[in-house]
Every structure is written in structure tokens, then in C-alpha cells.
Amino acid sequence: MKTKKAEKDAPPRKVLVILSNRFNRSQPSKYFELLCQTDGGVLEEKKLRKEPTKPVYDEVWENDEGKTDMDFCRSMKRKYGHKLEKPAA
């Protein structure tokens, strides 16, 4: 069991969030990079100009309801084994 001090000292996780539109596939997807604490709190949010090319993310999440901003998203789905997720050690 982890202690609160160990959780506090853990490095932040890098999370990729993809906002896409399953109803209109011609609409380009939007990509956001988040730095998160181990308890899920967001430290930093950055919008990316294009799809990342290297698998450097700890987690990849997607909302495919056609939302334009993360503030309006109600639910997201985790994408296990995504090509941009870091390979397991």
C-alpha cells in the first residue's frame, strides 16, 4: 500500500486526450496533453497543434461525441494499447 508521501513524490503522469467526432469524420480531431497527479488532479493542460508522432504518454483517453472543448465533455473512454501510449516496461 502506498503512503501519501510516496504518492506526493511520484512524478506526474502524461496523458493524451483526443476529441474527435464519430458523426462527422471529416472534422479534424483535437489533441490535448495533460500533466496529472497520481490522484487524478490536473497540473497543466496544453493544446497540441497536430497529432503527436512518438509514444510518450502514460495514458490515452478519447471523447468521440464531437465536443469542441474539454470543458464540455461529460465522459471519456480510456484507449488501452493505443499507438501513442508508452510500451509497458
Structural domain for 22, as ranges: 4-72
**89 domain-assigned:** no
Tell me the pTM: 0.82
**40 domain-assigned:** yes
**82 domain-assigned:** no
For the purposes of burial, counting CB atoms within 10 Å of the CB of 73, is it exposed (0-12), middle (13-18) or buried (19 or more)? middle
pLDDT in tens, 13-61: 999 999 998 888 898 999 999 999 888 888 999 999 999 999 999 999 9
What are residue 24's DSSP bridge partners? Answer: none
**87 domain-assigned:** no
Taking every pair of Cα atoms in the chain, the longest distance, rounded to a whole number of angstroms, is: 47
Q: How many domains does the chain have?
A: 1
For the cut 70, the answer to whether the pLDDT of residue 81 exceeds it is yes
pLDDT of residue 5: 60
pLDDT of residue 6: 57
pLDDT of residue 14: 93
Q: Give the contacts of 12 (CB within 8 A, at least 6 positions apart).
A: 35, 36, 37, 43
Of 55, 60, 62, 58, give the one whose Cα is nearest residue 21: 62
**80 domain-assigned:** no
